[in-house]
Amino acid sequence: MGTRAVVARPTPQGFTGRIFLNDGAPYTAMSVLRGFVLNVQEGDVEAAARVLIDEHPGGWIDVPDPDCRGRCLCHDAPPVNGAASTEPTTEQTASEAEYVYVLHPERLAVLVPGDDGWEEIRSTPWSD
Ligand SMILES: [Zn+2]
């Protein structure tokens, strides 16, 4: 736990999405996100993005997976001192994140901060 990351959809400039606070390292997060897209949303990447990004503007403590509906910062556990930020997290504002997971229509990409902005370190197709 404690690895802060972002789940996002691609934009022409980079990405836009929401933070999640726990289990953001690739080994866990890629498997959780693949399970959510493929098993919970039956492979509908856009439906998954709507849940993960649009329906929970506060972001997540734990993103949902096939075994758990997740815990969000807007409905389940709002911050004690006021509302969660509802600003989307983008390539401009994701500086606290160690990883970004971009839900492309055909693949899941993993980005890390590099010298020249965000660098893609892994990419895996949704279906193999
Ligand atoms: Zn919520």
CA of 72 to the centre of ligand 1 (A): 5
Ligand 1 centroid – CA 31 distance (Å): 22
What is the bridge-based pairing of β-strands 60-62 and 71-72? antiparallel
Q: Structural domain of residue 103, as residue ranges?
A: 5-125
- 12 C-alpha vs ligand 1 centroid, how far in Å? 26
Q: Is pTM, for the whole model, over 0.75? A: yes
Q: What tens digit of pLDDT does each residue of 62-112 get?
A: 999 989 999 999 999 877 766 667 899 999 999 889 999 999 999 999 999
Q: Please tell me the distance between residue 55's alpha carbon and the centre of ligand 1 in angstroms.
A: 7
Q: How far is the CA of 114 from the centre of ligand 1 (A)?
A: 31
| Domain total in the chain | 1
Q: How far apart are CA 102 and CA 109, in angstroms?
A: 5
Report pLDDT digits (tens) over 38-69.
999 999 999 999 999 999 999 999 999 989 99
